[in-house]
Structure 1
Amino acid sequence: MSAESGRVLRSRRVVTPTGEVPADVVIADGRITRVAPYGHVRAGAPGVGRIDDLGDLALMPGLVDTHVHVNEPGRTAWEGFASATRAAAAGGVTTLIDMPLNCVPPTVTVDALRAKQDAARGRVHVDVGFWGGAVPGNHGDLEPLYRAGVFGFKSFLSPSGVEEFPHLPQDQLDAVLAELARLDAPAVIHAESPEVLDTAPSFDGASYADFLASRPDAAETVAVTGLLAAARRTGARVHVLHVSSADVLPLLAAARADGIRVTAETCPHYLTLAAEDVRPGDTAFKCCPPIRSEANRDLLWKGLADGAFTAVVSDHSPCTADLKCLDDGDFARAWGGIAALQLGLSALWTEARRRGHSLGDVAAWTAAGPARLAGLHRKGAVAAGRDADLVAFDPDAEFVVDPGALHHRNPITPYAGRRLRGVVRTTWLRGEPVDIAGTPRGELLPRETV
């Protein structure tokens, strides 16, 4: 190793798996080689090309966001790999896993996966992997897709919102989960019950309360109850996506106590926003399942603190402005999805700090946990042997969200005008700063098999 081949990032606040410490993080060939005591590494020492002293900026692991809808190819007007990964890097996300729907074709065959990889190759500013989809009629494609490198399989238990990705009826769920159990592939599930949704009050117009009543807590609890029963019968690994209702938490706890292999995630918008915040017609807040009450939000935070969730991830699901129905504020017609990939770390830290949590907690929820979910053993921690995917984060700085400063393709967000705490100053991918205006250096990640 030449003296110019390595670098050191020095900070008084390095967020490691064992706590926040002053340290020198030594990097060579894109990996962290050691985390040394603060100030112990000297310029000009063997293998040290430069030392960057971050002072009191926190040095954190890059976020691993396992729930991002990039939508390319096919719906690139909604989002694309170049714009999504610029937003990711600006928000401290160094790895994302793309969801298999909202693109055309959806990622339900190996050919569709190859088309998506072709669309992404050479255009990503962070590392990108891919979920496959499990839908009616593609049972025979699951093993080939898994062998081709997808990280697992997404299914909806209720209509997805796009006709190319139909939901999985309950009578087909066991067969899919049995196949995924055979492959030992995780099933990541949008769990809302179509039967509950079909019998909930119908609505139209600008009332958020009416929209919320149309997607009651029972839609989640009934679907999760059925999913857990199927997981018990098949032995599959299941992961419940974007839990918004705290009523789900006792179900998950009981299932884990019974040995069912289940994990779950929630999202920054469920932890930082509340139904009481939503003005009539403000469809930037619409997502499915919905943002619920302040009291429910408090219970989600308690569950997070108690270890109920493996991950906090964005569920970044953007669309064009016309599909958000911003002109008439009709919640019934508006696309259901929150666009906030660039803001997740700051939004989460704003609320976590207020509630007494540490940067170490945030790193565990947004980096270590999602990396573990996806089996990305080289990601998610400031530790020797990991990829040097890192973030310099100023936890005390504040800013007001200006949609015009966001990098995702259609800068619509419920955080517009909000004051958030915590600013990403620099993002490193494998030890080199990410220049979102420069040549993309991200890699397409296959599933790790070790």
Structure 2
Amino acid sequence: MNATDLERRRQAACPPGVAVQTDRFVQHAQNAEIWDVDGRRLIDFAGGIAVLATGHRHPRVIEAVKQQLDHFHHTCFQVTPYESYVTLCERLNALTPGAFEKRTALFTTGAEAVENAVKVARAATGRSAMIAFSGAFHGRTMMGMALTGKVNPYKAGFGSMPGDVWHVPFPAEALRVTEDDSIKALEQLFKTDVDPRRVAGIIIELVQGEGGFYVAPQDLLTRLRRICDEHGILLIIDEVQTGFARTGQMFALEHYPVEADLMTMAKSLAGGFPLSALTGRATLMNAASPGGLGGTYAGSPVAVAAALAVLDVIKDERLIERANALGQTMVDRLNSLQESIASIREVRALGAMVAVEFSDPATGLPAPEIAKRIQQCALEKGLLLLTCGVNGNVIRFLFPLTTPDAVFEEGLALLEEAVRECGQTDRPR
């Protein structure tokens, strides 16, 4: 069946709330390449939204899953536990930053990890309030939406959000918000809206995913840590998108001179199989009563097998070093493009988390129409891209870290063509 027929069926069977970006129905994929049902090839610079650090169908991940299926595929860990769950928790306790005793619980999605981080923070502190940042994305569940700092499309039409959630602006030069602005807003929040003694946690992405790939300044984290310690607030780091070698470290937090109390993980953890994790200080993680954490599918043995293989691949194939190399190559190409493309406002990156922001050269205002035009132009050429940002004017790159050099170079060439053809303000398509 071709894509046209499948799109007709999709519209008849699926609600529009589950939006799709393209009409390319995938037929098969391998590493950094996708082929659709019509035989068209795509180079994947989206990675399933940061899920595929180890690429599509990495042979070691597939083999680990096959071996697990030969034993069992589900029991529910809370009913009959299994060794692999414990092994993965041990490895995450050892891998995550922080020189203290830790505990890890496994879940299914990033939003679920965030929800449970809030539960643990409240149980451990006896407090209820949470603080997040503008532009943040923490999931589509009710608490995830409440923490998320972007209304459209995530909160629109869903009514009131859970209470006792507060936001302060995230610092970004492109948004004209400084680190001092963020800290002053937090201090003002404590004076006018919420007693800091009622705040359980502050949650932050060190590189905002949906928000536009803005990188948190190092000193911001130092100041947040100081404020949290002063008021007994927990510092929660959301590594759902940044984790597992993406930023040129195993975790983005390793770029910063602070320790987190709790850390959420998902996406590339299991190479495309649904799995998330919450790791934190043992004294905090132990606060929830027995039965308070978990889930029927939480820590699926199939996904856990994939995750253990992913961790081995990251180490054995030196994907941390690979992330830095690929990220630098992309930054160099984008910086070169910026010299001749006036609509490119800024290129920014942390390791392989790379983004390019577009604005109207005449007005300086965000230009989401340019980003969208480039995305569509690239798709027509065979390159899959994602946009992001509060204003929708950022293209983000989340290619597999296993992308072969030749395929990566081909993708960069297609990107350059798309930007040159469709990134000019005087050349609408």
Q: Does the pair score TM above 0.5?
A: no
More helix by share: 2
More strand by share: 1
TM-score (norm 2): 0.30
